[in-house]
Amino acid sequence: MDDGELMFLGAARQAELVREGKVSARALAEASLRRIAALDRHLGAFRVVRARERVLAEADACDAARDAGTELPLLGVPVAVKDELDVAGEVTTFGGAANLTPAAGDCEAVRRLRAAGAVVVGKTTMPEFGQWPFTESAAHGRARNPWDTSRTTGGSSGGSAAAVAAGLVGAALGGDGGGSIRIPAACCGLFGLKPQRGRVPTAPQPHLWHALGTIGPLTRGVRDSALLYDVLSGPADGDRWTARPTATSFARAASTGPGRLRIAWSAKPAVPGVRPHPEHVAALRRTAELLRELGHDVREVSPRYPDATAAFLPQFCGGVRAEAAAVERPELLERRTRQTLALARLVPEAAVERAVRAGERLADRADRVFAGADLLLTPALAHRPRRVGALDGVGLAGALIRSRPMVAYTALWNVTGHPAASVPAGFGTDGLPVAVQLVGRRHEEPVLVGVAAQLESARPWTARRPALPAA
């Protein structure tokens, strides 16, 4: 196989090939590093690529472990990590220039990936503190969509999405505080599941943006995501939130039929004043019809979504404030970030805690959507991925306005904590991917994963690859 064939296989198949001795972990690592060197100057997916000798030494250790009979679920898989998560020996920049000192150790999610045999090749780009659904940073530039490099990857995990969509790594870690896994997955044609709050530990931090943020992977397919979630899931000391154990493993859910379910669908956004693009509505209708053909009871609904602004905004401000307070050179923060912090100074910590409790009440109200349904199907985005430069020349107010169509279907479920996933649903007339969102009941990710796997089988999306620029 050439490098592209290897790297587009995805995490699950890559791990199988290493376990079977058909490809070495070193060969995978070398293929990943070569593709990054050849292509990332067009994409801006990586903030930093780890030293070649360290990456290859870790890959060689994986090969030695395989030869010794050690079986690990992610043995030899090259992965990338969003730059808000600690990787030992690398600076955690949060997308900016204000940190300079390398992290002393891995965060818990990265530690679990390494323990499962994954090889971390680098850290991916993001907007400063993950504030925006566009991966654009004054310090580290713009991430570009592999399907059309003039277009955004979305954000804030846009570097991770570009790295997976372009076949630079087998999977990548992201974070989702308002849609930051699902939005770039939708823009780049990937599967991206925001798990139930508390499913993946945030240690050494007790939380990410209080109740809003979760950690999870972006992957080419559902089986890849399920494999990583089985590695990542489970409580850790110090977590503020802990999800209930799932009834079955993610991998089993991805490989077994979910049975006949009641699935509600709606094109109505949870953010007032936003109109969905007609191609997104058409993809939603096609997916609803496909689910009906697959045997599900599918019905259109008009949910009465609660207004989540009063619960979201204080937690957003408090989360950015807490992360900014920990950087070494606050004078180097971006102008927009300083504007966010000026707003955050008006939000006392008591108001943040009230917002957390308000979000819990909203979760109970949002559960009414599931009184007569097992899943909710919506668009993933309201608008098509816009041209890069979405944040050029705008301050906080302008960035918030431009962000609204990107988070219109996603942010509510961060406030309530429900699991939700972006699922590829074909391509638009602009050649860019189109996606739908599946939202599940609280703590019931396996149901969502099972239906996503059904859709993937009926409408395969991983065979198509972006036509990347010449090296």
Annotated catalytic residue within 32, 180, 266, 403 = 180
What CATH number should be reported for the domain whose range is 9-458? 3.90.1300.10
Q: Is 156 marked active-site?
A: yes
Res 471 pLDDT > 70: no
Q: How many residues does the chain have?
A: 471
* Enclosing H/E stretch for 214: strand 214-219
pTM for this entry: 0.98
Residue 1 pLDDT: 83
- 445-458 pLDDT, tens digit each: 999 999 999 999 99
Res 33 pLDDT > 60: yes
Q: Are 175 and 161 in contact (CB under 8 A)?
A: no
Arithmetic mean of pLDDT over the chain: 97
What mean pLDDT comes out for the span 48-71? 98
What mean pLDDT comes out for the span 85-109? 98
Q: Residue 469: pLDDT band by 50, 70, 90 thresholds?
A: confident
Res 125 pLDDT > 60: yes
Q: Is 422 marked active-site?
A: no
Residue 468 pLDDT: 86
∠ CA 342-344-345, rounded to 5°: 70
Annotated catalytic residue within 24, 32, 82, 266 = 82
* Enclosing H/E stretch for 362: helix 349-366
- 244-256 pLDDT, tens digit each: 999 999 999 999 9
Residue 318's contacts (CB-CB under 8 Å, 6 or more residues apart) are 209, 210, 344, 347, 349, 352, 355
Q: What residues are paired with 377 via a beta bridge? A: 265, 438
Residue 453 pLDDT: 98
Annotated catalytic residue within 156, 266, 403, 422 = 156
What mean pLDDT comes out for the span 159-188? 98
Spatial distance between the Cα atoms of 241 and 416, rounded to a whole number of angstroms: 13
- 298-329 pLDDT, tens digit each: 999 999 999 999 999 999 999 999 999 999 99
Cis status, amide bond into 206, omega within 30 of 0: no
Q: Is 268 marked active-site?
A: no
Res 176 pLDDT > 80: yes
Residue 470 pLDDT: 65
